[in-house]
Amino acid sequence: MLRKVAKSAVLTALNAYDKRDGALQPQSPSAWDMTVSDVGELCWEGNSLAALAERFGTPLYVVSRARLERDYREFLGAFTALYPKVEIGCSYKTNPLPGVIRAMHEIGASAEVISHFELWLALRLGMPGERIIMNGPAKTDKALELAVSNGVRLINVDNPDEIATIERLAAKYGRRQEVGVRVVTSVGWSAQFGLRIGTGQAMEAFRRMKAAPHLVPCALHAHLGTGIHDAGVYFTAVTEMLQFARRLRDELDVEMRYLDFGGGFGVPTVRPLSPTDRKLIDNGFQVKPPREGLAPTTQEYAQGIIDRFSQYYDVASPQSPQIVFEPGRAMTSRAQCLLLSVLALKNGDRSSEYAILDGGKNITIPLGYEYHEAFVANRMKETQTRRYSMFGPLCHPGDVLFKHRDFPKLVKGDLIAIMDAGAYFVPNQMNFSNPRPPAVMVSGSDVRVIRERETFEDIVRLDAI
Amino acid sequence: MLRKVAKSAVLTALNAYDKRDGALQPQSPSAWDMTVSDVGELCWEGNSLAALAERFGTPLYVVSRARLERDYREFLGAFTALYPKVEIGCSYKTNPLPGVIRAMHEIGASAEVISHFELWLALRLGMPGERIIMNGPAKTDKALELAVSNGVRLINVDNPDEIATIERLAAKYGRRQEVGVRVVTSVGWSAQFGLRIGTGQAMEAFRRMKAAPHLVPCALHAHLGTGIHDAGVYFTAVTEMLQFARRLRDELDVEMRYLDFGGGFGVPTVRPLSPTDRKLIDNGFQVKPPREGLAPTTQEYAQGIIDRFSQYYDVASPQSPQIVFEPGRAMTSRAQCLLLSVLALKNGDRSSEYAILDGGKNITIPLGYEYHEAFVANRMKETQTRRYSMFGPLCHPGDVLFKHRDFPKLVKGDLIAIMDAGAYFVPNQMNFSNPRPPAVMVSGSDVRVIRERETFEDIVRLDAI
C-alpha cells in the first residue's frame, strides 16, 4: 500500500516534470548548423534533407563538410592559440567512411589507426607513414610489419610483448622506430588496455625499449574513455603523464617527442542515458535533451591542458614535445545525420503511438545508450505534437530507436533525421536482414556520394550461392 | 560495518560455490557432436578445428552439416510422429549465411523471411514462391510486390495497413493471395508486433481480409520470443490461437490452412545471463554452464502442442491445417562454432589473467547476454587451468568475450572455439575496425568454403576512394 502511494506520488511528480514548459523542447537545428526552409524542410549547407532522401533513398547518411571543417578548426585553434605544436589525428574507428576520413586529412588531420585494416586504409588513402600513428590492444605481427615497413611515425605499445616484435621488424627494415607506451593513469579507462604508471609496468616497458637498438622511445599515449563531459578527468591524466615524462627524463634520460592525450571528448548535443532516464522511459515519459553547457568548451580544455603542460615544458620552445589528440566523436559526431523513413504507424500503448522505420538497431546502436536529437525533417514547422515510440524493421522487441518522444503528428513516408550520427554509427552497423546505408557528403551546392548503397547482391557476394 | 560483514559473508559463500567439485565444469563437447583427438584437438565430423584454423585462418566460422541435419530431423520428427502435416521454415534472420540456408533447404526446410533482402535471397537461392512465408513488421511496398508477383505462399500481416496493399497487388498480378495475421496472445512478445487477439484487433483484420476479393485469409502466426526454455509459454499461446481459430470459423466462416507457431525455442547448451550471473562476474567469479534439462525436449514440446491441437482438429484428417514452425536457434545454433586466436596475454586483475583475441564484440554480440561454452580447441587434454578474462581487438573496455572463466593455461596462438555461434552471431556482425569472418562447412571429409574472408578492399568497395 505504502509502495503504491509512493509510486503514485512519483508518477504525479513525473507528470509535472513532463509538462514543464520548454523543458523537453528539442535542441535547435542550429546546434548542427542546420536551417529550416520556408516550406519547413530541414537543410544542411542549403540542401534540403527531404530532397536528398528523395534523390538517394533512405536509410541515408548525410555528412556536412563545412561542419567537419568547423569542428576540426575550432578544436585545433583553441590549442594552437596557446601552443603551436598541437596535432589532431583522425580516429579511424569512430567513423570509418573513407570519404569522411579523406576530408579530415584534406582539412589537416593525420591518421590514428588501431587495426591492420585501418592501417591499410590510411596507406590506401595516400597517407605517408610519417602522418600515421598506430595504437590498439591487438596488433598482429602482420599489422606491425606493415607499419614498420611503411615508416609509420609512431607505434604506441599496449603490451610488453610488442616491444620485441617491433625491434625485430625495425632491424629487418633498417629503421629506428619511434615508439611510445599507452599508459594507464589513476583516472579513465584501464581494463584490458595499456600499462599502468602506478605499478611500474610503464617504466619497465620504457627500460626495455631504451635497451632495444632499433627503437626510439619518445611518446606517452592515453585514451581515457568516450563521450567524456568532465574536464577534470583530462587534467588529472595530463598531470600524471607530465610527471611521468619528467621521471622518464630523470631516471632513464628518455625525452618525450609526443604526448598523445587521446580522444574521448564528449559533444554538447549528445548525453549518455542514465538509469533515471531509463526509468522515466520505462514509465512512458519523455526524457530531456542535454542541457546547455553540458560539455566543457574546447577553450576550457585547451586552457586547462596547456596550463599544466607549461609547468613542465616551455611553450615557446620548438624542442618541446608535440601534443597529439585523437578526438573521434568531437570531430565527426555533429557533421553527420542519419535519415530514415516512416514505413508504418500503428496503435501503441497508453503513452505513445508506434512508428515503424526503415532502419533500427541494425544501424543505430548508439541510440541504445545515448540521447540523440531527432527531427521530422520534412515538417519542421508543424507545431502540434504527439508522443511516439519508434521501432526498426527487425523482428525483435529490442529494435527500438526512441520510446515516448514528442514529434509532429506523423504520416507514412515522413522523414526522420537522427542527429549526431557521425560517431560510432557506421562502425557498429550490421547486416541484420537488411543492406547498409549509403552516404552523401554535402559541401555547399556540391553533393557527392561517398558510399554507395549496398545492393542485395553485395551482401552475398562472398558467399557460395 | 554491517554492510562490510554482509559483503564478506557473501564473498565467502561465493568462494565456496566457486570451488564445488564439478559445478563449474564446462559442458562436454559431445553436446555438439564434437570429439577430441588423441593429440587433444577438438574435432567436428572428424575434422580437427585446429587444422581448419591453420588452413583458413581466424576468425573462422565452422558449420557441421551433419549437426544441422540432425537438429532439423529430430525437431520435425518429434512432431510428425504425432501429426504428419508439420513443416519447418528456415528462419533467414537467425543465420543468414546462404550456405547454411541452402543446406537447410536441401534437408527439407521451407523459407521464412522478414525483409525485402531475405525474400530476394530466398528467390535467388531458387526457392519457389510456394515454399516461402513472409513475415515482419516492416514490409515495404516493394517487398510486398516482389512477394505477390512471385507467388509467395503466405504473407502474415503485421499491421492492418498492409491489407489494402496486398489486395491491390494481388489484383494487379491476378492472384488470390493467402494471408494470415501475426497475432499477439496473452504470453510472449507483443511490443511493436502484430495484432492482439484480446482487443479484437486481430478479428477486425480478418473481417477486412475476408472482404477483400483477392485475399484468402487462412493463417495465424505468432512469434513468442527468443531462447525460450519454458514450454508453458508455447502451450498457452497455442491454446489461445486454437480458440481464436475456432472463433474465426464460427463467426466469420474463415477456415485455417496454416497455424504458424513461430520459433524462439531455446537450446539446452545456451542460457541467458541473469542479473545474479552479472554480479558474480563483476566480483571475479566464474558462472555456471546451463544445467542439464534446462530446455524442454522437442518430444515434450511436440506432445504438449499436438495434444492441444488434437482437441480442435482431427490429426488423422488431411483437411486439418498445416502446422508451421520457424525455429531459428533450435536449428542452427549448435551446428556452428566460431574459432578465434589468442593474440596476446597480459597481466590482469586480482581474479584473472587477460587474453586478447582476434575477434571481440564485433563478431560475438550474443556473448554479452548469453552463456556460451568455449574451449581451447588445440589443447583439450590439458588438465591444469587458470582463470582468464578474454577481450577482443577493439579499443573499448566493453569489448569483452568472457570474464573470469577457467581455461587451460594459454599461450599466444592458442585457438578458442566459441560454441553455439550459429544463431545471431552472423546477423549481428559489424565491421568495427576489422573484416568479417569467412565460414566453412564440414560434411565428413568434405570441407568447403561457404563464405570467403572479407578482404580490406571488400570493406571499402562501395566507397569513393
Whether residue B17 is predicted with pLDDT greater than 80 in this model: the reply is no
Span B225-275, pLDDT tens digits: 989 999 999 999 999 999 999 999 999 999 999 999 999 999 999 999 999
Note the pLDDT tens digit of each residue in A278-305: 999 989 999 999 988 888 999 999 999 9
Give Cα separations from B110 to B63, B88, B101, B154 (angstroms). Answer: 20, 6, 10, 12
* Spatial distance between the Cα atoms of B460 and A121, rounded to a whole number of angstroms: 9
Distance CA A429, CA B359 (A): 16
Mutate: best of B58, B125, B342, B395, partner A, most A CBs <10 A = B395
Q: Is B438 on the interface with A (CB under 8 A)?
A: yes
B399/A contact by beta carbon, under 8 A: yes
Q: Return the pLDDT at B295.
A: 86
Provide, as residue numbers in chain B, all residues whose Cβ is less than 8 Å from the Cβ of A96: 431, 433
Contact across the interface for B135 and A395, Cβ inside 8 Å: yes
A448/B391 Cβ within 8 A: no
Query: Number of A:B CB contacts under 8 A?
Result: 203
Question: Could you tell me the CA-to-CA distances from A181 to A136, A258, A311, B120 in Å, in that order?
Answer: 11, 11, 22, 50
B340 pLDDT band, cuts 50/70/90, is: very high
> Who among B114, B159, B391 is closest to A192 (CB)?
B391
Arithmetic mean of pLDDT over chain A: 94
pLDDT, mean over chain B = 94
pLDDT category at A53 given cuts 50, 70, 90 is very high
Model confidence pLDDT, tens digit, residues A403-414: 999 999 999 999
Q: Which one of A115, A429, A448 has the shortest CB-CB distance to B433?
A: A115
| Contact criterion met (CB < 8 Å) for A159 and B344 | yes
Per-residue pLDDT for A21 more than 90? no
Beta bridge partners of residue A280, listed in sequence order: none
Q: How far is the C-alpha of A321 from the C-alpha of A87, rounded, in Å?
A: 11
Interface list for A 352-381 with B (CB within 8 A)? 354, 356-358
CA distance A397 to chain B (A): 6
Has residue B9 got a pLDDT over 90? no
CA distance A376 to A49: 10
Residue type at B142 in one-letter notation: K
Q: What is the pLDDT of residue B255?
A: 98
**Which pLDDT score, from 0 to 100, does residue B190 have?**
84
Q: Above 80 in pLDDT, residue A349?
A: yes
Q: Does the beta-carbon distance from B356 to A137 stay under 8 Å?
A: yes
Closest CA to B331 of B1, B87, B85, B53: B87
Q: What integer is the mean pLDDT of B125-145?
A: 97
Region B108-132: what's the mean pLDDT?
98
Q: Does residue B263 sit at the A interface (CB-CB below 8 Å)?
A: no
Residue of A nearest to B453 (CA): A462
Is B3's pLDDT higher than 80? no
- C-alpha distances in angstroms, B271 versus B230, B285, B456? 12, 17, 35
Contact B192 A121 (CB under 8 A): no
Query: Is the omega angle on the peptide bond into residue B217 within 30 degrees of 0, that is, cis?
Result: no
Burial of B464 (0-12, 13-18, 19+ CB in 10 A): middle
Cβ–Cβ of B450/A463 closer than 8 Å? yes
Check CB contact of B283 with chain A, cutoff 8 Å: no
Q: Which of B158, B430, B464 sits opposite A429 (nearest CB)?
A: B430
Q: Say whether B192 and A118 touch across the interface (CB within 8 A).
A: no
Q: Would you state the pLDDT for residue A69?
A: 98
> Do B397 and A93 count as a contact with CB atoms less than 8 A apart?
no
pLDDT digits (tens, 9 = 90+) for A374-417: 999 999 999 899 999 999 999 898 999 999 999 999 999 999 99
Comparing CB atoms, the residue among B395, B427, B450 nearest residue A136 is B395
B412-431 burial, b at 16+ Cβ within 10 Å, e below that, comes to eebbbbbbbbbbbbbbbbbb
Cα A96 to Cα A124: distance, rounded to the nearest angstrom: 13
- A192/B389 Cβ within 8 A: yes
| pLDDT higher than 90, residue A1 | no
Sign of CA dihedral A374, A375, A377, A378: positive
Residue B206 clears pLDDT 80, i.e. is over it: yes
Exposure letters A291-301 (e unless 16+ CB within 10 A, then b): eeeebbebeeb
Instruction: Tell me the domains of chain B and their CATH numbers.
Output: 21-63+334-453 (2.40.37.10), 66-333 (3.20.20.10)
Cβ(B193)–Cβ(B201) below 8 Å:
no
Percentage with pLDDT > 70 across chain A: 95
Q: For position A142, what pLDDT does the model report? A: 96
What is the chain A residue with the closest CA to B459? A117
Quote the pLDDT of residue A13: 61
Q: Would you call B138 an interface residue with chain A, using a CB distance cutoff of 8 Å? A: yes
Amino acid at A289: P
What's the Rg (C-alpha) of chain A? Answer: 24
A332 touches chain B (CB under 8 A): no
* Position A214 pLDDT exceeds 70: yes
Q: What is the pLDDT of residue B417?
A: 98
Please name which of B433, B429, B428 lies closest in space to residue B459, comparing C-alpha atoms: B433
Residues 63-92 of A with CB under 8 A from B: 92
- Give the ipTM: 0.94
| Average pLDDT over every residue of B415-429 | 98
Cβ contact, residue pair A114, B463, below 8 Å: no
CA distance B273 to B225: 16
Residue window 167-186, chain A: list those with CB within 8 Å of chain B: none
DSSP state of B368: G
Tell me whether B51 touches chain A (CB under 8 Å). Answer: no
Identify the DSSP state of A115.
S
Within 8 A of A347 by CB-CB distance, chain B residues are 201
Residue B87 contacts residue B110 (beta carbons within 8 Å)? yes
Count of all residues that appear for chain A in the document: 465
Residues of chain A with Cβ-Cβ distance to B463 below 8 Å are 97-99, 450-452
Chain B residue numbers touching A202 (CB-CB < 8 A): none
Per residue in A74-122, pLDDT (tens digit) is: 999 999 999 999 999 999 999 999 999 999 999 999 999 999 999 999 9
Q: Given pLDDT bands bounded at 50, 70 and 90, which one contains residue B395? A: confident
Mutate to test the interface with B, among A121, A221, A463, A465 (most CBs of B within 10 A): A463
Specify the amino acid at residue B369.
Y
Residue in chain A closest to B431 (alpha carbons) equals A427
